[in-house]
């Protein structure tokens, strides 16, 4: 294990990239300097198993003999996305009606990043809820793991029940 060389300090930056399969990624600090290692376990302690590239992030870091590493995620803000990236299912819906939908607790059934979609189940219901990769990206996530706890705004889309917004469970608790 790397020897600790300094105490923790807060850093604001952007996620350069994060690969949940590899289990790590890197953050670029606003003030510059070396890339900061973000391990999946640190992200999981925040309640997420992934984070979208370009997301604004605030982290507590330690400088070690192996470089700077994140030890705690304080906050994550999804990257700015053009409002024109709208799924056809939402095109004819009132954006206020979507935002007014309640956050519902759910668990990921499965998600395939390569296919760009997956399904979750709202607690207390066996009905599948469709999860689209673009909804994840707009919510600041890049991938989901089976069994992961979420909070979702669910709407009745053209093809059935689907998530219009997805939040990590811990992030939803802070709203």
Contact 43, 52 (CB under 8 A): no
State the SS3 of the chain.
CCCECCCCEEEEEEEEEEECCCCEEEEEECCCCCCEEEEHHHHHHHCCCCCCCCCEEEEEEEEECCEEEEEEEEEEECCCCCCCCCCHHHHCCCHHHHHHCCEEEEEEEEEECCCCEEEEEECCCCCEEEEEHHHHHHCCCCCCCCCCEEEEEEEEECCEEEEEEEEEHHHHHCC
pLDDT average, residue stretch 12-32: 92
Q: Say if residue 2's pLDDT is above 50.
A: no
More confident residue, 24 or 126: 24
Q: What is the pLDDT of residue 5?
A: 46
Q: Which of 57, 111, 50 is nearest to 79 (CA)?
A: 57
Which tokens in the block code for residue 13? 């930056």
pTM of the full structure:
0.65
Q: What is the pLDDT of residue 71?
A: 95
Q: Which architecture does CATH list for 9-77?
A: Beta Barrel (2.40)
pLDDT average, residue stretch 31-52: 91
User: Quick check: do 9-77 and 88-173 share a fold?
Assistant: yes
Q: What is the pLDDT of residue 101?
A: 84
Q: Where are the domains of the chain?
A: 9-77, 88-173
User: How confident is the model over 88-140, as pLDDT tens digits?
Assistant: 666 677 778 778 888 899 999 999 988 989 999 999 888 999 999 888 888 77
Contact 37, 26 (CB under 8 A): yes
More confident residue, 138 or 163: 163
Average pLDDT over the chain reads 85
CA distance 125 to 33: 48
Q: CATH for 88-173?
A: 2.40.50.140
Which tokens in the block code for residue 4? 């600790």
Q: 31-40, 46-55, 89-98: lowest mean pLDDT where? A: 89-98
Q: Please report, in angstroms and rounded to a whole number, the separation of the first and last CA atoms in the chain.
A: 37
Q: Say if residue 175's pLDDT is above 70.
A: no
CA distance 17 to 74: 18
Q: What is the pLDDT of residue 65?
A: 87
More confident residue, 139 or 35: 35
pLDDT average, residue stretch 75-97: 70
């Amino acid at each position: 294990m790397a020897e600790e060389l300094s105490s923790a300090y807060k850093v604001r930056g952007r996620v350069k990239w994060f690969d949940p399969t590899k289990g790590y990624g890197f953050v670029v600090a606003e003030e510059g300097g070396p890339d900061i290692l973000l391990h999946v376990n640190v992200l999981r302690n925040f309640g997420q198993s992934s984070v979208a590239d370009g997301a604004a992030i605030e982290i507590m870091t330690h400088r070690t003999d192996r470089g700077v590493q994140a030890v705690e995620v304080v906050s994550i803000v999804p990257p700015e996305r053009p409002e024109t990236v709208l799924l056809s299912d939402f095109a004819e819906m009132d954006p206020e009606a979507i935002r007014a939908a309640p956050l519902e607790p759910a668990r990921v059934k499965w998600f395939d990043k390569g296919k760009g979609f997956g399904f979750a189940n709202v607690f207390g219901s066996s009905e599948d809820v469709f999860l689209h990769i673009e909804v994840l990206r707009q919510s600041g996530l890049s991938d989901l793991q089976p069994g992961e706890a979420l909070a979702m705004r669910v709407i009745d889309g053209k093809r059935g029940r689907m998530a219009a917004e997805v939040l990590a469970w811990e992030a939803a608790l802070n709203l």
